[in-house]
Amino acid sequence: MPFPTPPRVCIVGAGAIGCTLAARLAGSGQPVSLLARGATLAAIRANGVRLHDLDGEHAASVEASDSCAELGEQDLVFLCTKAPALADLLPTLAPLIGAQTAVVPVVNGVPWWYFHGEAGRFAGHRVNSVDPDGRLAGALDMEHLLGCVVFITAQVEAPGVVRSNNPHLMILGEPTNRLSERLERVRALIEGAGIEARATDRIRDQLWTKIIANLTSNPLSVVTGATLEQLYGLPELRAVVAKILNEALLVAAAYGARVSIDPQTFMELGAGMGPVRTSMLQDYEQGRPLELAAIGDAVVELAGYQGLSMPTTQDILTLARFRGAPFPSTEPSRQRQ
């Protein structure tokens, strides 16, 4: 069934990626609603969303609310939240989702739907690191899902105000690896907003490229405080990144993924992103939960299913987790005399 003209589009989450999408879509003439809360909701209601990117400054008005019931049923929903928030959030989105609604999770790491549509010994399997009790799988019919890999680096400068200094790219694909009419409609909508958008019948290949990019940069950035330019460019950090990269490439290969970027080019592209702080480093600096389960633990889990180990990756994840939520002190308490 084709989208109405114009389609009803809702973006859930008003962080860096959500506001980037909102600004570009609304700026192209597409009506957009935005689910937000708190100070961000107030700022967007008062001033709209603003994006500074390579094409200049974009300012757009959107319908902003903290109520799914108020926004109502949508044709297209982008989930632009952090992975740890999904389990509590997804069941509350029912008023947005009708029989024909396409839901596009724009989320880092291994998605909870990774094994959906897969055959063989992993058919119907669940990624426990991201969906330990099946709440995500049970909250949304998988037929609504459209896979997405987003290559957008952006930072929030103020509520509703975002800056991005690199090109925007989104790659979309059906979890069942087919090319569909709705896939092309969503791709064209995003392309029309000035964001490069591609459709693929092998979305997991692209997922692994982004999973590896996140895994080699995000946890290590929390441990070191380094930017992408430093992580992939400084010899001492580059050596650690290379170990994580090699471990992750083996896991990707075990699942039949075709990662098209060779390691040397991967490093050069990473360093070429410039002095960008990863989203996980930004979360750490602001005291927010870290996406370690989806970005790191899930990859280690997938490795284990294939009999592979990831010792360097696990060490960096342990250190990042310690930095994000320090373990209780083992030093004996001293009572005052």
Q: What does the pLDDT profile of the chain (337 residues) look like in tens digits?
A: 567 778 999 999 999 999 999 999 999 999 999 999 999 999 999 999 999 999 999 999 999 999 999 999 999 999 999 888 999 999 999 999 999 999 999 999 999 999 987 778 888 899 999 999 999 999 999 999 999 999 998 889 999 999 998 899 999 999 999 999 999 999 999 999 999 999 999 999 999 999 999 999 999 999 999 999 999 999 999 999 999 999 999 999 999 999 988 899 999 999 998 898 999 999 999 898 999 999 999 999 999 999 999 999 999 999 999 999 755 544 444 433 3
Residue 78 sits at φ, ψ, to 5 deg, of -100, 125
d(CA 117, CA 122): 10
CATH 3.40.50.720 fits 9-201, yes or no: yes
CA atoms within 13 A on the CB side of 206: 20
Q: Determine the Cα–Cα distance for residues 83 and 93; give it in Å rounded to an integer.
A: 15
Output the pTM of the full model.
0.89
The DSSP annotation for 169-212 comes to: EEEEE-TTS---HHHHHHHHHHHHTT-EEEE-S-HHHHHHHHHH
Region of residue 90 (left: phi > 0; alpha: psi -120 to 50; beta: else): alpha
H or E element: which one contains 217?
Answer: helix 203-224
Q: Which residues contact 221 (CB under 8 A, 6 or more apart)?
A: 227, 228, 231, 277, 278, 280, 281
Which residue matches tokens 């010899």?
A: 235
- DSSP three-state, residue 65: strand
Q: Right CATH number for 205-324 from 1.20.140.10, 1.10.1040.10, 3.40.50.10540, 3.30.2310.20?
A: 1.10.1040.10
The answer to whether the beta carbons of residues 317 and 300 sit under 8 Å apart is: yes
DSSP 104-160: EE--SSS-TTTTTT--GGGTT---TTT-TTSHHHHHS-GGGB-EEEEE---EEEETT
The residue written with tokens 């589009």 in the block is 9
Show which residues are catalytic: 210
Domain boundaries, given as residue ranges, for the chain: 9-201, 205-324
Q: Strand, coil or helix: what is 234?
A: coil
Beta bridge partners of residue 172, listed in sequence order: 148, 199
Strands 9-12, 74-79: pairing is parallel
- What's the confidence (pLDDT) of residue 1? 53
| Amino acid at site 257 | A
Please give the torsion angle defined by the CA atoms of residues 14, 228, 292 and 200, in that order, rounded to the nearest 10 degrees.
70
b/e burial code for range 307-328 (CB count within 10 A of at least 16 → b): eeebebbbebbeebbeebeeee
CA distance linking residue 261 with residue 126, whole number of Å? 28
pLDDT value for 334: 42
Which residue, 217, 138, 223, 137, is CA-closest to 175? 137
Closest by Cα among 150, 196, 162, 148 to 47: 162
pLDDT digits (tens, 9 = 90+) for 116-151: 877 788 888 999 999 999 999 999 999 999 999 999
